[in-house]
Amino acid sequence: MEEEEASSSGGDEFESKKEARSRKRRESHAEALQEGGEGQVQGEGEGGAGEKKRRKKSLQDGRSSVPGKRGVVYLSRIPPHMKPLKLRHLLESFGEVLRIYLAPEDAAARMRRKRAGGNTGKNFTEGWVEFAHKSDAKRIAIMLNGEPMEASKRSAYHYDLWNMKYLKRFKWDNLTEEIAYKNAVREQRLAAEISAAKKERDFYLSKVDQSRAIASMEERKKKKKELELPESEKTAREKKPSSEKPRVVRNFNQKKPVADGMRSKVATLSHDVLAGVFGKK
């Protein structure tokens, strides 16, 4: 009996340990499932938010990348010292800016300004700004035209006004085509000027060679004449000092003076005739 009771007590203890281990295993499995479920839900939420952001960004990029949806604004005046980066910084607060092109001033005008002691930096005369949307370009052109560029009086551009106009049906390709056309015209003009300068140089060099040839011919003729002269003239020329210059005698035609005997032969009026004309005294 005692042995049976001991065996039964040992079996109960073994079963209770087995149940405790199985219970712990179930609890840990449940906790793992719960944590996995929460992580999956959280990941799905974060993935959904990220997907929404990516979708929104791709939609914005798609809208801005469509050339037909873009708008171009023309700036008729660019203040001194203003660079494209500063212009972008001023306009980005009103709308999305894509591209900016500022036309540089003429090199001759810049040199004149430098010689006069003015600004030595690079200035721009006019510009074009491309916005991502037409509506932004129209709104900005209407809102900012005639307004100060910066509200703060401490700014260097406070007293400069915006001079802008929205270009209807104007695309950035039109601007690039115009710039390419102007560059092509400029290159053609430079090529024509260079060719004209080369022609002038060739003409000048040909005339120089021709004058040298004529001078050499004259020198040969002079030497030939000297060889043909008689010996007496040669010795006379050799004795004559080279420093003495030949005397040049010039003859001037002059009128002959009137002879003294010719004066008495000149007819004169009598005193009676003169007295009848002018009256007697």
Q: pLDDT tens digits, residue range 210-256? A: 999 999 998 888 888 877 777 766 676 666 655 666 777 778 887 77
54: pLDDT confidence band, cut at 50, 70 and 90?
low
The count of residues in the chain is 281
What pLDDT does 52 receive? 60
* Integer Cα distance of 52 and 229 in angstroms: 113
What pLDDT does 225 receive? 81
Taking the domain 68-170, which CATH number applies? 3.30.70.330
What pLDDT does 46 receive? 43
Beta carbons of 146 and 75 less than 8 angstroms apart:
no
263: pLDDT confidence band, cut at 50, 70 and 90?
low
Beta carbons of 90 and 152 less than 8 angstroms apart:
no
Q: Which of 176, 157, 146 is nearest to 72 (CA)?
A: 176
Highest averaged pLDDT of the listed ranges 46-50, 120-124, 210-214: 210-214
Q: Is the pLDDT of residue 134 over 50?
A: yes
174: pLDDT confidence band, cut at 50, 70 and 90?
confident
Quick one: average pLDDT of 83-96?
A: 90
CA-CA distances (angstroms) from residue 26 to 29, 37, 117, 118?
5, 16, 90, 87
Beta carbons of 146 and 42 less than 8 angstroms apart:
no
What's 46-110 look like in SS3?
HHHHHHHHHHHHHHHHHHHHCHHHCEEEEECCCCCCCCHHHHHHHHCCCCCEEEEEEEECCHHHH
* Integer Cα distance of 234 and 228 in angstroms: 10
Q: Is the pLDDT of residue 95 over 80?
A: yes
Lowest mean pLDDT among 104-108, 126-130, 141-145, 271-275: 271-275
What residue ranges do the domains of the chain occupy? 1-55, 68-170
What pLDDT does 59 receive? 46
129: pLDDT confidence band, cut at 50, 70 and 90?
very high
Q: Is the pLDDT of residue 53 over 80?
A: no
What pLDDT does 222 receive? 85
The label of the residue with tokens 């960004």 reads 57
The label of the residue with tokens 């030497």 reads 223
* Integer Cα distance of 77 and 51 in angstroms: 44
